[in-house]
């Protein structure tokens, strides 16, 4: 076991059949919901020029500083496995001359070299949306409402929407220096001693100091971000809240909510779940009005979010037991096996999941395998059946058997599937 020669790289996951089926179902549901809001899906390459991420995310962010998988090709050019989806989607939006307003969505895997832990991986899948070219509180509100509704439809529990406005880049800059002045003053007169983390935060992301568990409480009288927002910024934020109220989306205003990527401005939001005691972020997003221009396009406002597929599955789903083949064909001797091979070929042409044992086994052993595979029905083909040109179909749940002509297998399958769909709908 631990002597295995090869193991998966740290922080990566194998998606075994049971989870694969669950994922497929969830993804179908997600796509349907997102399309209902007018979005179209897009895919971008797994890796991009490293510069794209440094320019967009910001060179002093954690992602760029220490979490990117960056490598060089044979010509010495630097590429990076995408750590997030927004910059690549915007790049693709520009490169393919997609006209705004554009609503683009994606389901793509991302890569970050973090230390893995619960709900956190080095390769993980994100579902994301980007509404490009629209600047109105209504779209911010709609984007938030959509994220909330989708998570709810997916069965996520105890969701809380956290929102904040971090103002324009200029407003935030002014606030940042005011906050730093305040901190420096306090440190110099000896009334404040920041923890080591916060000393680092001062140069990297001072806004986060307010949220520090150690230092945050000591900073009650620090300047507030809101005091630095213009009346337009405040009005924009108020209107978003009005729409959310109208739609009945419950939110909590979180003045200290900031986002870790440089390109965000004005609206910032997160959706967390309190399911496991502590709040854990499932979805994060915000407005980024300067990114398109930063990447060389015309000034174009945009807003979007992303959520982690694994977090949804980890927190809210049990990996199901999946059903095996619908028909498991069992034989009694070499002669009937020859017949069964032909039958199986027909069943497969009807696209009904089916299987058999390849090595010779007793009927008993075959039934055992059918049971273990969680097959729905066993089709027993023996000399008695062949003689009357019929097959014996045994329901593996009830044990009831019927003797029917081969063609009936299609009808039995369809009826069973119809019954199951009906049950699922309830």
* Interface of this chain with RNA, residues 255 to 274, rule: CB under 7 A: 259-261, 270
Shortest Å distance, C-beta 375 to RNA = 8
Q: Tell me which residues in 282-311 interact with RNA (CB under 7 A).
A: 282-284, 306-308, 310-311
Task: Answer yes or no whether residue 112 interacts with RNA by CB under 7 A.
Answer: yes
19, 114, 239, 294: which one contacts RNA (CB under 7 A)? Answer: 114
Q: Does 119 bind RNA (CB under 7 A)?
A: yes
Is residue 162 close enough to count as binding RNA by CB under 7 A?
Answer: no
Judged by CB under 7 A, which of 95, 274, 383, 415 binds RNA? Answer: 383
**Residue 64 CA to its chain's centroid (Å):** 21
Q: Is there binding between residue 361 and RNA (CB under 7 A)?
A: yes
Q: Contacting RNA (CB under 7 A), which of 130, 145, 215, 385?
A: 385
The arrangement of strands across the sheet holding 391-395 comes to 354-356, 327-331, 377-381, 391-395, 401-404
Position 280 contacts RNA (CB under 7 A): yes
What does the block give as tokens for 78? 């630097």
Q: Tokens 């009830």 sit at which residue?
A: 398
**Can residue 10 be called a binding residue for RNA (CB under 7 A)?**
yes
For RNA, the binding residues in 36-65 under the rule CB under 7 A are 61-63
The nearer residue to RNA, 278 or 299, going by C-beta atoms, is 278
Instruction: Name the residue among 52, 51, 120, 36 with its Cα closest to residue 86.
Output: 52
Contacting residue, 174, 396, 404, 410, with RNA by CB under 7 A? 396
Any contact of residue 202 with RNA (CB under 7 A)? Answer: no
Give me the half-sphere count of Cα atoms (radius 13 Å) on the Cβ side of residue 138.
3
The CA-atom distances, in angstroms, between 315 and each of 66, 116, 160, 403 are 27, 16, 15, 46
- DSSP structure class, residue 280: E
**29 or 120: CB nearest RNA:** 120
- How many residues lie near RNA (CB under 7 A)? 71
Strands (E) across 342-416 are located at 354-356, 377-381, 391-395, 401-404
Which of 109, 97, 87, 150 has its CA nearest to residue 295?
87
Per-residue x/- track, 122-141, RNA (CB under 7 A): x-x-x---------------
Report the nearest approach of RNA to the CB of residue 336 (Å): 7
Element (H or E) spanning 94, and its range?
helix 86-95
């Amino acid at each position: 076991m631990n002597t295995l020669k090869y193991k998966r790289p740290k922080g990566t996951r194998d998606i075994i059949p049971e989870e694969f089926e669950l994922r497929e179902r969830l993804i179908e549901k997600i796509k349907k919901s997102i399309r209902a809001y007018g979005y179209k899906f897009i895919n971008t390459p797994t890796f991009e020029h490293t510069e794209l991420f440094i320019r967009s995310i910001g060179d002093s962010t954690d992602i760029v500083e220490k979490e990117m998988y960056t490598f060089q090709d044979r010509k010495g050019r630097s590429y990076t496995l995408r750590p997030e989806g927004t910059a690549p989607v915007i790049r693709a939006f520009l490169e393919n001359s997609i006209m705004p307003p554009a609503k683009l969505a994606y389901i793509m895997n991302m890569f970050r070299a973090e230390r893995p832990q619960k709900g956190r991986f080095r390769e993980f899948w994100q579902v994301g949306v980007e509404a490009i070219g629209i600047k109105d509180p209504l779209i911010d509100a709609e984007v938030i409402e959509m994220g909330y509704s989708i998570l709810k439809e997916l069965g996520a529990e105890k969701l809380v929407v956290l929102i904040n406005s971090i103002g324009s880049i200029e407003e935030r800059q002014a606030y940042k220096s005011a906050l730093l002045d305040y901190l420096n003053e306090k440190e110099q007169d000896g009334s404040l001693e920041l923890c080591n983390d916060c000393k680092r935060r001062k140069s990297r992301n001072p806004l986060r100091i307010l949220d520090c568990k150690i230092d945050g409480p000591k900073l009650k009288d620090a300047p507030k971000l809101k005091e630095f927002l213009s009346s337009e910024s405040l009005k924009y934020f108020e209107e978003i809240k009005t729409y959310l109220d109208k739609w009945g989306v419950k939110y909590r205003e979180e003045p200290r909510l900031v986002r870790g990527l440089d390109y965000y401005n004005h609206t910032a939001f997160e959706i967390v779940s309190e399911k496991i005691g502590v709040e854990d972020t499932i979805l994060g997003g915000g407005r980024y009005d300067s990114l398109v221009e930063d990447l060389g396009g015309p000034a174009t406002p945009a807003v979007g979010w992303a959520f982690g597929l694994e977090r949804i599955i980890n927190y809210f789903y049990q990996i199901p037991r999946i059903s095996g083949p619908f028909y498991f064909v069992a034989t009694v001797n070499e002669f009937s096996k020859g017949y069964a091979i032909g039958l199986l070929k027909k069943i497969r042409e009807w696209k009904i999941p089916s299987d058999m044992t390849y090595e010779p086994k007793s009927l008993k052993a075959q039934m055992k395998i059918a049971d273990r595979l969680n097959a729905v029905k066993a089709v027993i083909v023996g000399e008695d059946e062949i003689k009357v040109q019929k097959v014996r179909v045994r329901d593996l749940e009830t044990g009831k058997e019927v003797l029917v002509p081969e063609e009936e297998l299609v009808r039995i399958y369809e009826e069973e599937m119809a019954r199951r769909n009906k049950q699922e709908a309830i």
